[in-house]
Amino acid sequence: MTTETVKYQRKELELKALLEITQAINENKTESVLLNIFKFTCLVHLNIKSMVLYVASGGKFDLRISHNVKGKIPQIIPQDAVVENKALGKLSLTLSEDYSFSEIDIYVPVYHKDKMLAILLLKRKDESSELDLNFTQALTNILVVALENKRFARRQLEEERLRREIEIASNVQRMLFPSKLPQTDNLNAKVTYIPHSTVGGDYYDLIQKSPDEVFFCIADVSGKGMPAALLMSNFQAALRTLLRSSSDLKMIVEQLNFTTFDNTQGERFITFFLGYYNYKTKSLSYVNAGHNPPILCRDDARGEPELLEAGTTILGAFESLPFLETGFRTDLNKFTLHLYTDGLTETMNPADEEYGDEKFTEFIKTNSYDDPTVFHSRFFDELDSYSQGQPKCDDITLLSIKFN
């Protein structure tokens, strides 16, 4: 057989290999099918006896093909364990003594610019027969690019799915909040809610159960994002259900704690404040479950703003609450309550200093008689001035309620 005939036959086999892999890519075959076709074409149409293929992924090389290799080889090779000396044509792999590539004598690197995308390690069937390494490298490159494109498309689909889920969760969360807060002569409420991300873990509510009864609350779930928002959604549904059937704050808080613990098994917790005001008795009762104490300001100049601290520990940390008390304030005619989450007082300035509870209390003292809308406008101007554009670290909620 002449040399020209051998070359022609080799080119014909290479062309078959190229057509088979490109046809599979055009038909959008799965990754496993592409890898099998690549392995088959290399073994049948090219002069290859044994082969190992590693593909780069997230700072490491993953084993994707291993054929006719009896020695123990690693499933993963760290990227920094692979060094190629291009001038000498040598590849150095830093591996433990348990692994060996002694049966392999040729390596084919695949690069994109200066980044190594894959390593094909192989052994020829016949040492005397020629193997076109340039073609083998090109064929491997085609395969690796196809795998990269599939991974990119899969990541895009996953990101789109996640974006839609977040959008749905955000819409659901908006539906949980009151669509409109009362602004009447005897009850004037204002809220400012700034989520840290598209969905947040803060929650507030105001429910006028009857003309003489008003429930209000604020809560903060540990963590951020989707898990916090989903837990808060369940929490809100449970609270609304309980409030329809009872006005017993102690019972409501105990049930909410049990529901939260049952849902999270103690892995997440909720800080929560629940208040109840009765216009007939002019009395306020409340339970503070580990939340930032809301601030009560009486309009009759009876002294300093009061912190509403009585209650219990955070919800969801224990199957049953270790202690629980209900706080009371009586003879309340005209007063304002400011309920907030810790994202407000933990706002940082460029010097990494928190705004803090003391500054907030001082601001309230100076502006205690303001209408809630005016109060919010002035306060968030001050908070923005303090932070000087520093990014927010958490959700921020401020709910102010003025009772007359």
Which residues of 13-152 form beta strands (DSSP E)? 48-56, 60-67, 76-78, 82-85, 90-93, 106-112, 115-124
Average pLDDT over residues 14-42: 80
Residue 317 CA, distance from chain mean position: 22
Read off the amino acid at residue 37.
I
Summarised one tens digit per residue, pLDDT across range 295-305 is 999 886 556 88
Please state at what angle helix 3-26 crosses helix 31-45, rounded to 10 degrees: 170
More confident residue, 399 or 303: 399
Overall average pLDDT of the 39-44 stretch:
82
**pLDDT at res. 237:** 84
Q: 68 near 130, Cβ under 8 Å?
A: no
pLDDT reported for residue 9: 62
Higher pLDDT, 276 or 28: 276
Residue 40 has pLDDT above 70, yes or no: yes
| 1 pLDDT more than 60 | no
Contact 146, 128 (CB under 8 A): no
Contact 118, 110 (CB under 8 A): yes
Q: Which of 25-29, 206-210, 381-385 has the highest mean pLDDT?
A: 381-385
Pairing of strands 82-85, 115-124: unpaired
- Taking the C-alpha atoms of residue 64 and residue 55, their distance in angstroms, rounded to an integer, is 7
Residue 373 has pLDDT above 70, yes or no: yes
128 band by pLDDT with thresholds 50, 70 and 90: low
The pTM is what? 0.64
pLDDT digits (tens, 9 = 90+) for 161-172: 777 767 776 676
pLDDT digits (tens, 9 = 90+) for 198-252: 666 788 999 888 889 999 999 998 876 677 777 887 888 889 889 888 889 999 9
Residue 32 pLDDT? 87
Nearest to 383 by CA among 370, 371, 397: 397
Rounded percentage of the chain residues whose pLDDT exceeds 70: 90
Encode pLDDT of 129-138 as tens digits: 677 778 888 8
Tell me what pLDDT residue 177 has: 77
- Nearest CA-CA partner of 120 in 135, 101, 100, 106: 106
DSSP letter assigned to residue 325: -
The per-residue pLDDT for 17 is 67
Between the CA of residue 343 and those of 19, 291, 305, 384, what are the distances in Å? 60, 12, 21, 13
Tokens of 199: 């969905």
Tens-digit pLDDT profile for residues 310-363? 999 999 988 889 899 999 999 888 899 999 999 999 999 999 899 999 999 999
- Does residue 29 surpass a pLDDT of 90? no
